[in-house]
Amino acid sequence: MLDPEAIRENVRAVESRIAAACARAGRDRNDVLLIAVTKTFPSEAVDAAIRAGITDVGENRVQEARDKKPGVQTAARWHLIGHLQSNKARDAVRLFDVIQAVDSVELAEKIARAADAEKKRQEILIEVNVGREAQKNGVEPENAGALVKQLSAIPSLHLRGLMAIPPFLEADAMRPYFRELRKLREELALEQLSMGMSDDFEVAIEEGSTMVRVGRAIFGSRG
């Protein structure tokens, strides 16, 4: 794990890159949320990032957040950015402020029942399989509108927007996928668009992302 000062410097560097990408795109820096992805990194790293100015952290797995979150001493909003197994919906609702990778009515209904039990309105994003890749989760773009309509009607869910993990390509080659998702978000009149990671977040911002999920550029390579 990087030491706290290295994490602080990395956060500053990422913030500078976000600001530059926003400037190139004529966007307000405040319109882009930086989510620090803490997968495999310990509670101490999460605390260091929060003290460096991070307000939102992302985890890929419910189990890891359940083990890690009690050791985090500083407050932040937590995002589940990995696929959620339906049998872990209740734990996910308890642990996360935002569940980003919802891709079916069945999963949404399980989240909603858990939210009802917790007396909570759960924020969610719909995952879109923008590359139409067989090995990835997510609703196909042409079916996103119907899913938005169904999920928007569930009172205990607050549908905020869309998220995607496009095909792994060079950053500029991902622009068409980012643009497609931005257009879809606009057509569906949704607020948030979660796309872009350490290798491509600047391009994602230039193409309209409102949330970027950055791990390695903040914490270094995973062991």
Report the chain (223 residues): mean pLDDT per 10 consecutive residues: 91 98 97 96 96 97 96 97 95 98 97 98 97 89 97 98 91 93 97 96 98 96 72
- Determine the structural domain holding residue 204 and report its residue range: 4-219
pLDDT number for residue 185: 97
pLDDT number for residue 167: 87
Question: What distance, in Å, lies between the first and last C-alpha atoms of the chain?
Answer: 9
pLDDT number for residue 133: 85
Could you tell me if residue 189 is left (phi over 0), alpha (psi between -120 and 50 degrees) or otherwise beta? left
Q: Give bridge partners of residue 194 from the DSSP assignment.
A: 163, 211
Query: What does 97-126 look like in DSSP terms, one character per residue?
Result: SEEEEE--HHHHHHHHHHHHHTT--EEEEE
pLDDT number for residue 223: 58
- Fill in the DSSP letter of residue 128: B
Instruction: Decide: helix, strand or coil at residue 193.
Output: strand
Instruction: Decide: helix, strand or coil at residue 215.
Output: coil
Classify residue 120 by burial, with Cβ atoms within 10 Å: 0-12, 13-18, 19+.
middle
Rounded Cα–Cα distance for residues 29 and 105 (Å): 34
pLDDT number for residue 2: 81
Q: What pLDDT, in 10s, does the model give residues 129-181?
A: 998 888 889 999 999 999 999 999 999 999 999 999 888 888 899 999 999 99
DSSP-derived pairing of the beta strands 33-37 and 98-102 = unpaired
Indicate the number of domains in the chain: 1
CATH number of the domain at 195, please.
Answer: 3.20.20.10
Place of tokens 């990408």: 21
pTM over 0.75, yes/no: yes
